[in-house]
Each structure stands twice: as C-alpha cells, then as structure tokens.
Amino acid sequence: MEIYLDNSSTTRPYQAVCDKVAEVMRNNYGNPSSLHRLGIAAEKEVKAAAEALANALGVRPDEIFFTSGGTESNNIALRGAFLASRGNQIISTPVEHPATLNTLDYLEGEDCHTDFVPVDSDGRVILSEFEKLLSSDTAVVTAMLVNNEIGTIQPIPQMAKLIRSKAPKAVFHVDAVQGFCKVPCKARELGADMISISGHKIHGPKGIGALYVKRGTALSPIIFGGGQQHGIRPGTENVPGIAGLGTAAAHCFANSAEAAVRISELKERLKNSFIQNIDKIRVNTPERSAPHILNVSFGGVKSEVLLHSLENEGIYVSSGSACSSHKKEPSYVLTEIGVDRAMIDGSIRFSLSEFTTAEDIDKTAAATADIVKRLRKLNLR
C-alpha cells in the first residue's frame, strides 16, 4: 500500500473533480466567449467556478481571475501592481516561494527596489521591523500566508493593519497557495487586496489557478490578447480546468474546518512519535503552523537517501520545496531560520491531506525510525 505524504507539492484530485473535468471536456467544449448554446454552457461553468471561489474567499465573483496556477497569479499580481503604481519600493520576506522571489529579481531591473523584512526563528515576520520599512514610497507588499517548506503562518492581518496606517496607497498581495482551504482565508479578515491560489494544492487539476483582485485595485496587464477576463488575463479560458478548480474549492472549503482539526492531530501524532523514538532530530515546523506541514531534520543522514529509502517502503515525502528539490544549494528557508547546515542536509517535509489516515502515520513513523537507525549505523562503518 502506498502512503502519500507530499501534499504540499501536489495533491490527489477528488474523484468529483476528475468527473467534472471529463464531463466538461466531452459536453461543454464551447468557447465561453461564443454567443451560441455551447458557448453559453461553457460560460456558465466559468461563472459557477468563480462563485465557488468567491464564496470561499468571501469576495465577489467578478473579483476572481483565472490563471494557469500560483506562479502566474503571483506574476500578474506583483508585476501588474508595480506597473500601475507610482512608488518604487516592494516589501517582501526572504522565505517566499521562488515564484515570488524570482519575480522580484526581475522587477529589480525595472526600477524597483525590494526590501526584505527579517523573520524570527519560526520564519515569522518581525512586525516591528516590517513597520520600519513601510513608507509613502511603498508600492506593493507581498507575503505568503503559509510557508510551503515549514508551515509557518504569517501574521497577515497585523501586516495589513500596519500597511493601512503607514503606507495606505500600497497594494497588499498574499500568496495563499499553501494556505487556501487549510487555514482561514477570507480576504476581508486577511486585509488583502490580492490573493493567489492554485488548483493542484486543493485536490484540483494542475495547470489552473486564480487571482483575487479587490475591486478598485490598480493592476496593469502583463500579457495582451483578446480582452477576456477584463483584459487582466486575456486568452481563451481553460474551461475544464476552471470547472475542476471550482469543484475542488467548493468541496475543500466545505470540509476545511473539520479536516484541519483531524489533519493537525495526525501531524502531532507523527511529530511526537519522531521525538519519542528517534534521537538527534530537529523539528523545523513551529508550534503555531498550518495543519498539514511537518518539516523535520534527522541528524546523521542525508535527506535524499532517507527520501528514497522511504520510497522503497511505498512512502512518498519531500526533501523540501518540490519547485527547488533538484537544486544542490541548501534550503534558503531553513538557512534563514538558523538551522545548522548539517541538519538542513537531513531535512524531510511530511505533508498531509484529508486522505491521510492514522494507519499511514503510524507506518510512516515506524519506517522512518527504522531507516534512520539503519542509515546511521552504515555511516559509522
């Protein structure tokens, strides 16, 4: 039996999502911009998905724009908001996803100045330092709701309050790709002007995402085409993907509170088993964190060796962010929070979902303990 604990990388789609995508591809294949019956049927699917996402975020359906995923959503948000602004400062954190950090690198060549607010040993923004960076020149602030490697929840509402006080003209973008349907994500409660989400993180299809843009937020387009989606994201909509995303969001949001409690309990069960049965470990995930992510460093072993050893047992995990797992450099997130290089080299991310069972957790805990002890003995020879 396979045990999948790499849900921060991607999730298994709901069966209802697979059925919906197939149904739309077979029957509602019209262009949603067409005026005939098939076009109108396709347009209804797009509108229904927008309503599902709007309900989950507590916003208006016409504030939802569909994209190809979290990376594109972040690019549209950051580049579009900066182009539409008069300021030249962007504030972010050093523990953001590469989709944000690499976009900020690009904008540095476009007369943008980026300031990174320090984080504490939990990877959480130091609000007093954040407040010092805010000014009348701040154009955009961007921060992730949940860190994809260690599960830290950023103090987004408190950041929003400081922005409104110190830099009221700034646009606040929240990367909620790891947080949507995992932690509370109502736009008004967060204080966000823009929110990025991705379908394949919530048991939806890959290659589809969305960007919430609060009405009245200045945003310049970064791609140009036929004017679909008010020109913010032109191009014929991916109707099957959009319908699948809407189905996933509706189901995931309806069960989010109950699922979060159960998943969090399973995460604690896994963490406690590691602490009790394996010495020389470091739990990198803070106490107050998202329910589904547990990052642990195992001293004396290499994460890649441990990962493949677990894979041989039918257990699938990650050695960090899947987007940067092929790189040889140590995790910049773990480096930023002060984890020793030797411990970084032995770090594994276990990420759960609503499909995870107690049996999965117990088997993973036992297998990990056995493998770590065996690898350490081999390393001593």
pLDDT at 380: 59
Nearest-angstrom CA–CA distance, 144 and 293: 15
Which residues, other chains included, contact 127 with Cβ-Cβ below 8 Å and sequence gap of 6+? Answer: 155, 158, 159, 162
Catalytic entry in 181, 185, 252, 323: 323
Task: Set out the domains of the chain in order of their start, with CATH numbers.
Answer: 3-10+257-380 (3.90.1150.10), 15-254 (3.40.640.10)
Q: Name the band, by pLDDT with cuts 50, 70 and 90, for residue 176.
A: very high
pLDDT at 1: 79
Q: Using an 8 Å Cβ cutoff, are 193 and 214 in contact?
A: yes
Q: Is the pLDDT of residue 324 over 60?
A: no
Range of lowest pLDDT (71-75, 116-120, 315-319, 327-331): 327-331
pLDDT at 381: 44
pLDDT at 342: 92
Q: Is the pLDDT of residue 156 over 90?
A: yes
Nearest-angstrom CA–CA distance, 144 and 115: 15
Q: Is the pLDDT of residue 116 over 70?
A: yes
- Tens of pLDDT, residue by residue over 44-66, are 999 999 999 999 999 999 999 99
* 323 assigned to active site: yes
Q: Using an 8 Å Cβ cutoff, are 8 and 351 in contact?
A: yes
pTM: 0.95
- Rounded alpha-carbon distances, angstroms, from residue 63 to 58, 59, 226, 377: 11, 7, 19, 57
pLDDT at 322: 47
- Rounded alpha-carbon distances, angstroms, from residue 357 to 186, 204, 259, 311: 28, 20, 12, 18
- Tens of pLDDT, residue by residue over 188-233, are 999 999 999 999 999 999 999 999 999 999 999 999 999 899 989 9
Q: What is the mean pLDDT of residues 284-301?
A: 97
pLDDT at 329: 82
Nearest-angstrom CA–CA distance, 58 and 107: 31
Q: Using an 8 Å Cβ cutoff, are 60 and 187 in contact?
A: no
Nearest-angstrom CA–CA distance, 204 and 159: 30
Q: Is the pLDDT of residue 325 over 80?
A: no
Structure-token pair, residue 270: 């896994």
Nearest-angstrom CA–CA distance, 70 and 145: 13
- Tens of pLDDT, residue by residue over 347-369, are 999 999 999 999 999 999 999 99
Q: What is the mean pLDDT of residues 86-115?
A: 94
Q: Is the pLDDT of residue 326 over 90?
A: no
Amino acid identity for residue 337 in this structure: I
pLDDT at 38: 94
Q: Is the pLDDT of residue 321 over 60?
A: no
Choose among 122, 279, 256: nearest CA to 202: 256
Q: Name the band, by pLDDT with cuts 50, 70 and 90, for residue 318.
A: very high
Strand order in the sheet with 194-198: 64-67, 209-213, 194-198, 171-175, 138-144, 89-92, 113-116
